[in-house]
Amino acid sequence: MRQVYEVQPTAELNAAFGKLQQHLKQPDKTKTGVHGAKYADLYDVGNAIRKANTESNAGISFTQPIISELDANGRERLQVLTIIMHESGEKMVVEGLPLTAGSNNSQEAMKAATYAKRGSLMAAFGITPKDEDDDGEEITALQQYQNRELEQKRMVQAKVKQMLALVDKTKLDLVWASIGAERGSINDVDKLSMAKASMMYGAIKFANADLMSELGDK
């Protein structure tokens, strides 16, 4: 059964999050991908966030549990939750995209889960790659694991479009900025890559936490 987390974003968490973001810098790129491009892995992203938290004295921490459930076909699906906590006790939950866990290759499954954590963490804290090399590493790993399923991409885009229509107009610029773009139309979501759509999904969840309980079961 799917786990349910209570989400209660309040002023203290929002203020602390703003302080942290003022000190947040691009993560160091310490890893080299299959095509020779440098990229920031999960550790690099987490390290950049923890450093910004220390410098800003924001009092924020995070954890990323993975929950499991069966889909309609009886296959196990995994989902990363990024739980952002403040020392006051307030918290925010950003839901990641589901991953099918049916692979016989445990190494590939672990790699996909790691990239899912990285993407969710970047989306939650508003970190966008400086260039497409970084983005491409994430796309490659996720698409290899999910066999480049076009249906999955369209499902994500449809969910983003559904949620984007409910976003407060005052937050639209921030949502689009999370993927390094100026405000577009709902139809522009169809042009997004899987990675960009995933990042926007997380940004919308964060900007509209009050919608999570309403949309979670739809």
Is the confidence at residue 3, as pLDDT, over 60?
no
Mean pLDDT of 159-168: 85
Is the confidence at residue 185, as pLDDT, over 60?
yes
Please tell me the total number of residues recorded for the chain in this structure. 218
The two three-digit tokens of residue 123, written as one number: 């989306």
Q: Which residue has the tokens 């699906």?
A: 77
pLDDT for the residue numbered 105: 55
CA distance 97 to 202: 9
pTM (2 d.p.): 0.55
Mean pLDDT of 44-70: 91
Question: Considering Cα of 212, then 213, then 216, then 218, what sign does the dihedral take?
Answer: negative
